[in-house]
Structure 1
Amino acid sequence: MRKRAAKTSLQYSKTDLVINSIQDKKGEDIVVLNLENIPDTVSSRFIICQADSTTQVRAIANHVIDQIGEELGEVPYSKEGLAQCEWVLVDYIDVVVHIFIRDKRQFYQLEDLWHDAAIERIPNFN
């Protein structure tokens, strides 16, 4: 079980920063899919979470983008879905963040599509 990483840690990874950014905006049911051992994948990790409203989806996406920019100096390679905010994808090549409104996550079930990935479930941070 992953604990919230301290920002002062030298090992503060992009994955930890994304998770903390999601938790800052009360994103729920965070899952990290480790894709490193799956041949021909386009990314090392998918980080998936959900929100209760499109406003919250937008807030989470913007906070992730802002925090990665401030802390790591990176901008996303691609951003998709910010117009409707039902499923927002923020692509950093090595890490891809999927932020869903609750019913869209249940519909698309990305975790099931990538069932051969190592899955880490992050406890909700209340």
Structure 2
Amino acid sequence: MKKTEQSKVLIEAILEGIHRIKGKDIIHVDLESIDHTECGHFIICHGTSSTHVDSIAQTVEATVKEIIGEDVWHRDGYRNAIWILLDYGDVMLHVFQEEARRFYNLEGLWADAKITKIEDEQ
């Protein structure tokens, strides 16, 4: 499977995990057209509390493992659950508390990338 196809399957599994636990305001930042980036894609969402942020990240890890059998390469932020990063190589998931998301404004930092809002599942 090509890298772009692998990333697409991984992104779908990540989104499924976020939807399972009702992550808020999900966006996909496609960084592939930008030179010298750490990865090809960011998925960004937020939760309503540290417990919700923690639950979103844990559910994504379990869902990705369940659907495609892949483990996260690196994780950071579980201790305070203000901003949890899950690094899957070409795809990084950022799960914030809402206030921290507004403060760090990753969407604004990467405004020259292709940004897609992901609709909430009903």
Taking structure 2 as the reference length, what is the TM-score of the superposition?
0.90
Deviation of 1:125 after TM superposition, in Å, equals: 2.6
CA deviation profile, 1:22-67 (whole Å, cap 9, x unmatched): 0110101000000011111111100000110110101110011111
Are residues 1:125 and 2:121 paired? yes
CA deviation profile, 1:5-30 (whole Å, cap 9, x unmatched): xxxxxxx7111111111011010100
Taking structure 1 as the reference length, what is the TM-score of the superposition?
0.87
What is the letter of the counterpart of residue 108 of structure 1? Y
Three-state SS of the structure 1 residue aligned to 2:15 is helix
Deviation of 1:124 after TM superposition, in Å, equals: 2.5
Tell me, which stretches of 5 or more residues in structure 1 are unaligned? 1-11
Tell me, which stretches of 5 or more residues in structure 2 are unaligned? 1-7
Are residues 1:95 and 2:95 paired? no
Residue 15 (structure 1) aligned to one of 11, 28, 51: 11
Find runs of 4+ consecutive structure 1 residues off by over 3 angstroms: none
Aligned to 1:63: 59
What is the letter of the counterpart of residue 57 of structure 1? V
Q: Which has the higher helix share?
A: 2
Deviation of 1:85 after TM superposition, in Å, equals: 0.3
Matched positions, count: 115
Question: How does 1:1-126 map onto structure 2 within 5 Å?
Answer: 13-126=9-122
CA distance in 2, matches of 1:65, 1:43: 18
Q: What percentage of residue pairs aligned between the two structures are identical?
A: 37
Three-state SS of the structure 1 residue aligned to 2:14 is helix
CA RMSD of aligned residues (A): 1.1
CA deviation profile, 1:66-122 (whole Å, cap 9, x unmatched): 111122121111101000001000000111000000100011000000111100001
Aligned to 2:4: none
